[in-house]
Amino acid sequence: MKTAEVFRFEIGYQARRAWTWLFFVALLALSFQITREGYSDNARDGGYFFNGPFVVLSITVLASAMGLLVSATLAGDAAARDVQTRLHPLLYTSRVGEHSYLAGRFGAAFAVYALILVGVQIALLLALLVTGLPAEFIGPFRPSTYLSAYAIIALPNAFVATALLFSMAALSRRAIVAYLGAVLLFFVTMFVLMMVARKFGHWQLAKLLDPLAFTIVSELSSSTTAADKNTLAMLFNRPLLLNRAVWLGVGLVALAITHLRFRFDHVTTHARRKRAAVPAVSATLPASESAPIVVPHATRAFGLVTRLRQTLAIAAQSFREIALSWGGLALVGLTTLLVALGPKALNHLGVPLLPTTQQMTRWVGSSGEILWMIVPMLTVFYVGELVWGSRQTRLAGIGDAAPVPDG
């Protein structure tokens, strides 16, 4: 009963937010535009139907990748909102149990994200109505195609993404960590596709390790004929079903670990516990040694030079915070993999090329525009770290009182 109440409250809260409906409209519009611009020409040149199973499958997988930012927002907010708004002392002392709290919040985040992904199938139907293609490029309308893509691709991807990101945010008590998880999840997908599958040729392993099933769609794109694409049966695709089973299991394990480790305790850091363990030293001096404290007079200056020094000091401190955070370390790891494995992917007709700057830039650029989705995800994470960092440490009041202009 309490789980249902938590679920109902969270659904109502998310439904009242303008961001929820903006996400729905944005994902619908992007899916509609990509379908019209990308697959109209493919239908003419490739010989497969504009509304065939392969097109529906491809757009659904692509939308799942674009929706990682949506999932991070919903899962992170549901898992850590109470801590970041400082309402957790009231909640943790209420009669709502930890199981009801986690189950209700996760269920609501997953349900809202699943509803947003329905917009992708609506976009596919709208694109079919306004495509303007000749009748020979449009196949018979089969509702089962759209239902299968939603049930086998969209829903499992939504569950896996929401489970992993919700677990990260709930255990860390920080909503921004969900964005870092979205970046890592997307990078794993791209790494498995481009390196494990395409570069090293381990397609069977890659199809199993890909959390969003991008590798399976890529293989179908290059290994099937137009007739196969028009008659593709997702329900009988063994690698796809095995991939779904593996990653659904990963999501369930993540939720189980969260349930075991999450406690209604006040958030403390290791550094705070370490400082608390140091015995306090009395600063009281004997009466004979006490003396008035003399503070030297300092000339205050708030001219252009001072403002410039303040700006540079804040910029340097902000850079250190980003560079030493989990997001900064993750970016170092991604860059290291790119530098280490990138030269191995440079070849022309099987002949290795010298990994010059020009060759590396061309290789990264040819990896596809979808790779650059990492950039906005990392940007959101870094901005959130800087904007919310002082509030989370409760130093915002001190910073606001400092003699530093807003600009």
User: Average pLDDT, whole number, for the chain?
Assistant: 83
Gyration radius (Cα) of the chain, Å: 26
Report the phi/psi class of residue 143: left, alpha or beta, with left for phi > 0 and alpha for psi in -120 to 50: alpha
Min mean pLDDT across 326-330, 337-341, 365-369 is at 365-369
- Rounded mean pLDDT of 248-267? 91
**Strand pairing partners for 347?**
352
Q: In Å, how far from its chain's centre is CA 289?
A: 60
> Is the pLDDT assigned to residue 245 strictly greater than 70?
yes
User: What's the pLDDT band for 274 if we cut at 50, 70, 90?
Assistant: very low
**CA gap 200, 197 in Å, rounded:** 6
- Rounded mean pLDDT of 174-202? 87
Report pLDDT digits (tens) over 75-93.
999 999 998 888 888 888 8
User: What's the pLDDT band for 270 if we cut at 50, 70, 90?
Assistant: very low
> Is the pLDDT assigned to residue 120 strictly greater than 90?
yes
State the pLDDT at residue 219: 92
> Is the pLDDT assigned to residue 115 strictly greater than 80?
yes
CA angle, residues 62, 63, 69, in degrees to nearest 5: 115
Long-range contacts of 58-62 (CB under 8 A, 24+ apart): 58/217, 58/221, 59/31, 59/34, 59/35, 59/120, 59/123, 59/124, 60/120, 60/121, 60/149, 60/150, 60/153, 60/154, 61/153, 61/157, 61/212, 61/213, 61/214, 61/217, 62/31, 62/34, 62/370
State the pLDDT at residue 273: 43
**CA gap 195, 260 in Å, rounded:** 35
Q: When comparing pLDDT for 243 and 349, which is higher? A: 243
> Is the pLDDT assigned to residue 282 strictly greater than 90?
no
State the pLDDT at residue 276: 47
State the pLDDT at residue 275: 46
Q: Are 236 and 64 in contact (CB under 8 A)?
A: no
State the pLDDT at residue 225: 86
Q: Which residues of 352-369 are buried (b: 16+ CB within 10 A; e: fewer)?
A: eeeeeeebbeebeeebee
Tokens of 386: 């800087």
User: What's the pLDDT band for 288 if we cut at 50, 70, 90?
Assistant: low
**CA gap 16, 18 in Å, rounded:** 6
State the pLDDT at residue 350: 63
Tokens of 238: 């063994």
Report pLDDT digits (tens) over 149-182.
999 999 999 999 999 999 999 998 888 889 889 9
**CA gap 180, 382 in Å, rounded:** 9
Q: When comparing pLDDT for 194 and 122, which is higher? A: 122
State the pLDDT at residue 88: 85
- Rounded mean pLDDT of 51-66? 92
CA angle, residues 234, 238, 239, in degrees to nearest 5: 100
The DSSP 8-state label assigned to residue 295 in this structure reads P
State the pLDDT at residue 48: 83
**CA gap 123, 49 in Å, rounded:** 16
State the pLDDT at residue 272: 42
Count the helix, strand and coil residues of the chain and give each as a percent rounded to the nearest 5. Answer: 75, 0, 25
| DSSP letters for 5-55 | HHHHHHHHHHHH-HHHHHHHHHHHHHHHHHHHHHHHHHHHHH-S-TTSHHH
Q: In Å, how far from its chain's centre is CA 395?
A: 28
Maximum average pLDDT range among 270-274, 363-367, 374-378: 374-378
Picking from 231, 198, 229, the residue whose alpha carbon sits closest to that of residue 42 is 229
User: What's the pLDDT band for 286 if we cut at 50, 70, 90?
Assistant: low
% residues pLDDT > 70 (the chain): 83
> Is the pLDDT assigned to residue 280 strictly greater than 90?
no
Stretch (H or E) spanning 347: strand 347-348
State the pLDDT at residue 254: 96
Based on the number of CB atoms within 10 Å of its own CB, is 387 exposed (0-12), middle (13-18) or buried (19 or more)?
Answer: exposed
Residues 6+ apart with CB under 8 A from 188: 209, 210, 211
Q: Are 66 and 161 in contact (CB under 8 A)?
A: no
**CA gap 169, 166 in Å, rounded:** 5
State the pLDDT at residue 213: 92
- Rounded mean pLDDT of 195-201? 83
